[in-house]
Chain A
Amino acid sequence: MRLVFKQKKIIFGLGLIIIMIALAIFAKFICPQDPYQINLGEHEKLQPPSFEHFFGTDDLGRDVFTRIVYGARISISVGFIAVLISLLIGVLLGAVSGYYGGKADWLIMRLVEIMLCIPTIFLILMALAFLGPSIRNVMIIIGLTSWAGLARLVRAEFLTLRERDYVLAAKILGASDARIIFRHILPNALSPVWVNATLGVGGAILIEAALSFLGLGVQIPTPSWGNILTDGIYYVDSAWWLMIFPGLFILTTVLSFNLVGEGLRDVLDPRLRK
C-alpha cells in the first residue's frame, strides 16, 4: 500500500481524477449558471474566454465552462458504470471458464473470440442504431462489448491459481465451488484486474466521447464532453475555445486514468520494478 503512494504517476493521476470527480459532484456550487440557459443576445453568443465566461460561450450563448463541468458528470459516470458492467461479466465468465475448464471453457472462449474479432466501435454503433441513443444505453453497450479481454485475463489467472495447494486444501476441508472461486481464488487474481479496469475507465470515457461526437451517444441538449465537441465543429476556424477545452478535459481525464493504471501495474508486478 505504501508503494502505491510512492508512485508519482499514481499520485498525479489520482489527484486529477479526484479533481474531476469533485467537479462532477459539486457542479451546482462551482458553476451557478444553468448549463441549459440559452442566451441569443448579440454580445452573449460565441464570446471568447473572459472573466465572466472562463471558457467562452457557444453558438447559443451557453457558458462552455458550465457545460464542461456538468458534462464531467456524464462522462465519468459512463466510464465507471460501463467498466463495472464489463467487470461483472468478464470476471464471472473468466472465473467459470478458468476454474471448471472443459466444455464451459470451450464455449466461453469461443464467445470471447467472436467478441474480439468484431471491431468494438462498429459493434457499438450497430447496437446503438437498434436500441436508440441514450446515456443508459451507451453505458450498457460499452459495458457489454468490453468484457472479452478481461474474461481472458481472469481465466488465465484462474488456470494457474486453481492448481495451488491452498485450493486443494480448501476443497479437502469441504468448501463449495462458489466459496473457492470467490473467496480463495478471486482475491489472488485481482491485481491484473484492477489495472485492466482502471485503464478501461479511460477507454470507456473515450468511446463515450467518440459516440457523442458522432451523435449516437448522449443526446443534446444534455452536455457531455463529446457533444460539446460536436457543437464546436462548425466554428473550428472562428471559435477555437469550443473544441480546445472539452478536448483538453477528455485528454486529461483519460491520461490520468491511464497513469493510475500504469502505476498500479508497476506496483503490482514486481518484475517491472526497477
Chain B
Amino acid sequence: MNILEVRDLKIYFYAEQGIVKAVDGISFDIKKGSTLGLAGESGSGKTVTALSILNLVDPPGKIINGQIKYNGASLLDLDAEKMRMLRGKEISIVFQEPLTALNPVLSIEEQMYEMLLAHRRLSKNGCHKIVIEYLKKVNIPSPQKILKDYPHQLSGGTRQRVMIAMSLLLNPKLIILDEPTTALDVTIQAAILDLLMQLKEEMDLSILFITHDLGIIAEIADDVVILEKGRVVEKAGTLEIFENPKNDYTKRLLNAARFLEVSPL
C-alpha cells in the first residue's frame, strides 16, 4: 500500500536565460509507514520535489507534467482551498533551518496557536493543552518555560524540536523532512534522528527524508531514491544501495561518504 505515488514529475523553471529543468521526469513511491530517503547533491531537485507535493512551486517554476497521488487521490487536481486544508493536516514539511522557518516577531506559543487555528476551532485553553502535549512529545523538558519565548531566544536543537512539534500538531500521516538536521551539530543531529524514529512508530507516520548525507539515509531509511540533475539515477532498498550500488553516480557518492568516514585525524 503506497501513501504517496509520484509519476513522471516534471518541474521546469522559466527564467529569462532559458528553461531550467529542475525536476525532469522522476517517479517514486512511499509505502505506508515506511521512510523513503531522497538523496542527491545541491541543485538536484530535492526541495522542489518536496514543495511540488503540496503544490507550492511558485512562478517562474511550473509543474508541467506528471501525477502526484496521495492515498490514491490526485493532489495536482485539488482546488486551492482543499489543498490548504490538506497542508499540515495530512502532509507537512520540516525545513532545514529552523531559525528562518520560525517567525521572528511571534512567540512560540503564538505561532503554534496560529497553526492550530488555521485548521480547527479551538479555545485558547484547548490550544494550550495540545501545544504542551506536543512539545512534551518532542522531548522539550519544560514546555511551559519556552511558550512565551521568541525563536532567537532558543537553542538550535530546541528550535528544530519546536518545528517538528509544530508540523505534527494536526497529526499528519506523511511528513516531509527537508534536511532537518543539516543546521545542527552532530550530537544534536543524532538526538533529533532518534526522536523522529520514535515519533514515527508512536504516531504511525510515513516519512520522506530529504538529505545529501548518505550516513543518515543508512541509519533511518527503508528505501532510497538517488537524484542527479532532476533525474532518478537509482532507486532501491537501503541495504541494496549500500551493498551493491548499480549506478556510477551512486558509487561515486558512496565513495565520497566512505572516504570521509575512514579518514584518520
Contacts and interface: CB of A to CB of B under 8 A. Distances in A.
B88 A174 contact: yes
Nearest to A183: B114
B95 A184 contact: no
A184 B103 contact: yes
B103 A166 contact: yes
Nearest to B84: A174
B216 to A, nearest CB: 21
Interface string A170-192: 11111110010001100110000
Given A171-B56, A172-B93, A188 B104 contact: yes
Contact of B101 (A166, A175, A187, A188): A166
Nearest to B56: A171
Question: Mostly helix, strand, loop or mixed at chain A's interface?
Answer: helix
A8 interface: no
B114 A172 contact: no
Contact of B56 (A165, A168, A183): A168
A18 to B, nearest CB: 27
B54 interface: yes
Contacts of A184: 103, 106, 114
Contacts of A176: 84, 118
A174 B119 CA distance: 7
A183 B115 CA distance: 11
A193 to B, nearest CB: 13
Q: How large is the interface on B (under 10, 10 to 19, 20 to 34, 35 or more residues)?
A: 20 to 34
Contacts of A179: 114, 118
Interface residues of A, number: 17
Contacts of B102: 166, 169
B86 interface: yes
Interface in A189-214: none
A184 B104 CA distance: 9
A114 B115 CA distance: 40
B204 interface: no
A164 interface: yes
B115 A175 contact: yes
Contacts of A166: 100-104
Most chain B CB atoms below 10 A, which of A172, A175, A179, A188: A172
B95 A173 contact: no
A238 B216 CA distance: 90
B97 A175 contact: no
Given A165-B97, A179-B114, A179-B118, A172 B87 contact: yes
A172 B92 contact: yes
A212 B97 CA distance: 56
A6 to B, nearest CB: 21
B62 interface: no
Interface of A: 164-166, 168-176, 179, 183-184, 187-188
Given A174-B86, A174-B88, A175-B114, 20 more contacts: A164-B100, A165-B95, A166-B100, A168-B95, A168-B101, A169-B93, A169-B102, A170-B103, A171-B56, A172-B56, A172-B87, A172-B88, A173-B88, A173-B92, A173-B166, A175-B118, A176-B84, A183-B114, A184-B106, A187-B105
10 contacts: A166-B102, A169-B95, A169-B102, A171-B87, A173-B118, A174-B88, A174-B119, A174-B170, A184-B103, A188-B103
